[in-house]
Chains A and B, each alone.
Chain A
Amino acid sequence: MPDHKPKTELLDELEKGPWPSFVKEIKSAGQTSASAQDLLRQLELSYQEKKGHWKHGGLVGVLGYGGGVIGRYSDVGEQFPNVAHFHTIRVNQPAGWFYTSDAIRTLCDIWERHGSGLTNMHGSTGDIILLGTRTPELEPTFQELAQAGFDLGGSGSSFRTPSCCVGMARCEWACYDAMRLCYDLTMAYQDEMHRPPFPYKFKLKCAACPNDCVAAIARSDLSIIGTWKDEIQVDESAVTEYASAGLNIQKDVCDLCPTKCMAWDGHKLGIENHECVRCMHCINVMPKALRPGKGRGAVLMIGGKAPIMQGALLSSVLVPFVAADELLDTVKELLRRIWDFWDEYGNNRERVGELIQRVGLPAFLDGIGLDPIPEMVSAPRDNPYIFYQAAKDGAK
C-alpha cells in the first residue's frame, strides 16, 4: 500500500457541494485499495488534460463464457500501475434491484477481496457493475460470486441482461408480473447471455405499465410494456373526494387526455374506453380513484436503441396485446423467430431495429410470420412507390 495520498486538486473541488460526491467514494475505497488510489490519480490527470485514458478490449473473461467482463486497460499504465489492467465485471442484478443487507455485504466482501472496492449500483443496462480488477482475479471473483448465488450478466453481441421495473412488488399499476417475466426470460437464455451468438447486442426490458419506468421503449430491442384491454376501473366516491379536495378534474384530467375520451359534469366522470389509448395520465393524477382495467397484459414492441450506428430508434408495435398469462410463451416464440431472421439476414453490428429499417418492416413481418395490422404504424404509407408482389397478388 503506498502511504502517500493522491494529490487531486481538481477532483477535491468535487467533494464540495450538497450532492453526494463520487470523489469521496473513490477516496473511501482508496483506504484499502491501491487500484482505487491509482484510479483517482489517473482521473485527476484526465481532469487536467481534458481527455480519457482508457483503452477498450482485449479478450479477457472467465472460463467458458464469452461475455460478462469488459476488458479495460490504461494508456498511462506505467504511471499508474495499479490500474494498468482495470477490467469491469457485470453481475446480473436481482429483478427489480431488490436486496437484503446480507446480500449487499456478501457482494462487498467478495469485491473487496478481488477488486478495487468500487461499484456502480447500477450500470445502464441494469447489472451490478464491479469496477476494476486484474485478469487473474476474474475467475476467482466469478466462482466466489457463483458460490454466493450470483452470476455474470451479458456483454458484447449477446442477449444482454434483461431488466424490469418494480412491478407487482410495489406498484398498483403493474399490468403483468414484470419481475417474474424478467427472471424467467433471464433463466431461459443463460446460454445466449453468456456465449454471444448474435450479430450484435440484444436488449430486453420489462415495464409493467405505459409509464415505462425502465425506459424500455428507448433502450431495448424488445420492449414489453404493460397495458390493459378492458375498461379503466373507476371508484366514483374517490373521484368525488379528489374533486372536493380541490383537484380540477376538467382541466387537470379531461383536458389533458390525448384522445379526449373523458368527460366530467361536476359529479360523474365518464370514459369512452374504446377511444382510450392507455396513456396513464388520468390514473397518474388520481391513483386512488382510477386503476388500469382487469384484462391485463402487455404490448410487445421491437427495435429500440441508442444512436450507434444508423441513428436512434424508439421501439414500435409488433403485437398490440398479449394477455399476462400468455406473455412468457409468446415472447419466447417471438424471440425464436426474431433471432432466426436476424441470424440469417443481420449484418455484423446491426441491431434488429436497424435490420428492420434496412429490409423494411413488411419483409421482417414475412420473415417472422406475423400479419401486418394497422396498430403497427402511425399512418399508412404516403408515398406511391409500392413494391407489388406480382405473383402473390395475382397481377398479370
Chain B
Amino acid sequence: MSATTEPRITDIGPPHYEKYLHPLIKKNYGQWKYHENLAPGVYCHVAESGDRIYTVRAGTPRLLSVQTLRIFADLADKYSGGYLRFTSRNNLEFLLDDPVRIEPLKQELIALGYPVGGTNNAISNIVHTQGWIHCHSSATDASGLVKCTMDALYERFTHEDLPAKLRIAVACCLNMCGAVHCSDIAILGVHRLPPKIQPTLPRVCEVPTLIAACPTGAIRPAVVDGKHSVTVVEQQCMYCGNCYTVCSAMPMNDADNDGLSIWVGGKVSNARSAPTFSKLAIPFLPNNPPRWPEVVEAIVKIVDVYAKHARKYERVGEWIERIGWPRFFQLTGFEFTRYHIDDFKHAALTYARSAHVRY
C-alpha cells in the first residue's frame, strides 16, 4: 500500500435517503391516504393534502450496464424531475407529479424495450440470482432462464388479468439467494451428483471446516497419500454445494446431471393465508440453454392452469390448497414421483394425516 496524504473515509454508511426523495414525497412523507391503479404499471398515490404522485413501473433485466443506467437517468430528468427508484423485484419506477407525462414516458420506455407493467394481478419481474454470470455454485444460468420465461409470459407482465398476484423466482442452486422458497412459482437449479474431490484438497482447504460444513455429516476425514483429506459418503449427500462454498477442491458442476426443479404455491404476504414455502411440482428438468424449452413450457402450463381454475384473489398456493394436490397434478399433467414425498427432517409433518380425501 502506498502512503496517501488524504485521510481514508470509512464507515459512513449509505447516503441518507432524504436527499433522493421527490419534493412531493418529502412533503407528504407518512401522509399518504390511498392509491388508485390507473393502468398496468401505473399507480396514483393520493396524500391527505390532496397531492398526487404518479408512479410508472417498467421491467428491467436487473443486470444493467452503465450505459443503460444513464438512459434511465436521462428519462428521469426528462419526465420525473430526475427522481427514480427500483423495487424489491428489480423493476424501475419513475415518480411523476404531472399525469400528462405518464403516456409519453410509457411510450418511450416501451420503444426502448422496457415493458410497463408488473403491478397488482400481473406477473411481476422475476427475482433471481447470478447463475453462470458470476456464481461459483450455480447449477444453471439465472438471467437466461428469466429472459426466456419472461419472453413467454410478457403479456402477463403488461396485463393484470390473473386471479391474484403471481410471483416467480429463479435460484441457480440450493443457496437460494432470492425468495425462491416462498414464491408462487420457483425455478431452482439443482446438482444431482456428490462433489468430486480434487487431489489439491489438502493444500487448498481447511479440513475441519469442510467436514463441519456438511449438513448431513456425509463428509468424513480420511488420510489420502499420507495427507489429511476427506471422503464423501455418497448416499448421504443431498447435493447442496455447501462444501464447495468452503472448499474449492470439491466441485459440484456436472454438465450432464445438473438441471432444474420447479416449485409452486409459496408466498410471503400475510394476506388471507399465512406465509408459506413453495412445494415441489417437478423434481427435474434438463438444463437446456439458451432457451430452456422444457422449463418454459412447464411454467406457462402452471400459469395457464392457475389462470383458468383459480378463484379471484386466490394465490397459487391457496388455489392448490382448495382443490388438493392430486387435482393439481391431474390438471397440470405433471407426474407425481417418490421425490415429491419429503424424507428429510420433519418430513412426517407433510404426510396426509387425516381421512380427508377428494375423489
Contacts and interface: CB of A to CB of B under 8 A. Distances in A.
A168 B60 contact: no
Contacts of B115: 18-20
A63 B240 CA distance: 33
Interface in B74-129: 74, 76-77, 82-88, 90, 92, 95, 113-115, 127, 129
A107 B72 CA distance: 13
B319 interface: no
A214 B13 contact: no
B1 interface: yes
Contacts of A100: 19-20, 76, 82-84
A55 B148 CA distance: 26
Interface in A173-217: 174, 177, 179, 183, 186-187, 190-191, 194, 210-217
B192 interface: no
A245 to B, nearest CB: 12
Contacts of A280: 269-271
B269 A143 contact: no
Given A17-B148, A312-B277, A51 B255 contact: yes
A50 B258 contact: yes
A327 B29 CA distance: 19
B156 to A, nearest CB: 11
B175 interface: yes
A67 interface: no
A169 B240 contact: no
B20 to A, nearest CB: 4
Interface string A124-135: 111000011000
Nearest to A179: B17
A307 interface: yes
B180 interface: yes
Nearest to B63: A22
A341 to B, nearest CB: 20
Interface residues of B, number: 119
B234 interface: no
B68 interface: yes
Contacts of A96: 17, 85
B258 A72 contact: no
Contacts of A125: 177
Interface string A51-76: 11111110000011100000010000
B132 A47 contact: yes
B86 A121 contact: yes
Given A47-B290, A52-B131, A98-B85, A122 B275 contact: no
| Most B-side CB within 10 Å, residue of A14, A20, A212, A219 | A20
Interface residues of A, number: 128
Contacts of A92: 13-14
B283 interface: no
A88 B271 contact: no
Contact of B209 (A212, A309, A348): A348
B338 interface: no
A172 B126 CA distance: 25
B29 A97 contact: no
Contacts of B11: 151, 190-191, 194
A124 B129 contact: yes
Contacts of B254: 51
Contacts of A19: 59, 61, 115, 146-147, 150-151, 154, 157
| Most A-side CB within 10 Å, residue of B9, B13, B245, B346 | B13
A29 B312 CA distance: 44
A95 B287 CA distance: 37
A158 interface: no
Contacts of A186: 13-14
A46 B131 CA distance: 10
A79 interface: no
Contact of B268 (A23, A25, A215): A215
B21 interface: yes
B289 interface: yes
B11 to A, nearest CB: 4
A308 interface: yes
Contacts of B67: 28-29, 31, 117
B88 A168 contact: no
Contact of B30 (A54, A102, A177): A177
Contacts of A252: 312-313
| Most A-side CB within 10 Å, residue of B87, B132, B346 | B132
A210 B268 CA distance: 9
B17 A131 contact: no
B193 interface: no
A386 interface: no
Interface in A155-178: 163, 165-166, 168-172, 174, 177
Nearest to B179: A215
25 contacts: A17-B151, A18-B115, A20-B113, A21-B61, A28-B68, A43-B133, A51-B132, A64-B10, A72-B134, A97-B85, A98-B84, A101-B77, A101-B83, A108-B73, A119-B63, A122-B86, A122-B90, A125-B177, A149-B15, A170-B25, A170-B55, A215-B88, A215-B268, A284-B271, A306-B181
Interface of B: 1, 6, 8-17, 19-21, 25, 29-30, 32-36, 45, 53, 55, 59-70, 72-74, 76-77, 82-88, 90, 92, 95, 113-115, 127, 129-138, 141, 143-144, 146-148, 150-151, 154, 157, 174-182, 209, 212-213, 215, 240, 242, 244-246, 248, 253-256, 258, 268-273, 275-277, 287, 289-291, 312-313, 344-346
Interface of A: 10-11, 13-14, 16-23, 25-26, 28-29, 31, 36, 39, 43, 46-47, 49-57, 63-65, 72, 86, 88, 92-105, 107-109, 111-112, 117-126, 131-132, 139, 143, 146-147, 149-151, 163, 165-166, 168-172, 174, 177, 179, 183, 186-187, 190-191, 194, 210-219, 225, 252, 256-258, 277-281, 284-285, 287-288, 291, 306-312, 314, 347-349
Q: Which 9 A-B pairs have the closest CB atoms?
A: A17-B151, A101-B73, A56-B136, A146-B9, A210-B270, A108-B66, A19-B150, A306-B176, A168-B30
Given A22-B143, A194-B11, 7 more contacts: A19-B154, A25-B65, A52-B131, A92-B14, A98-B84, A104-B70, A308-B176
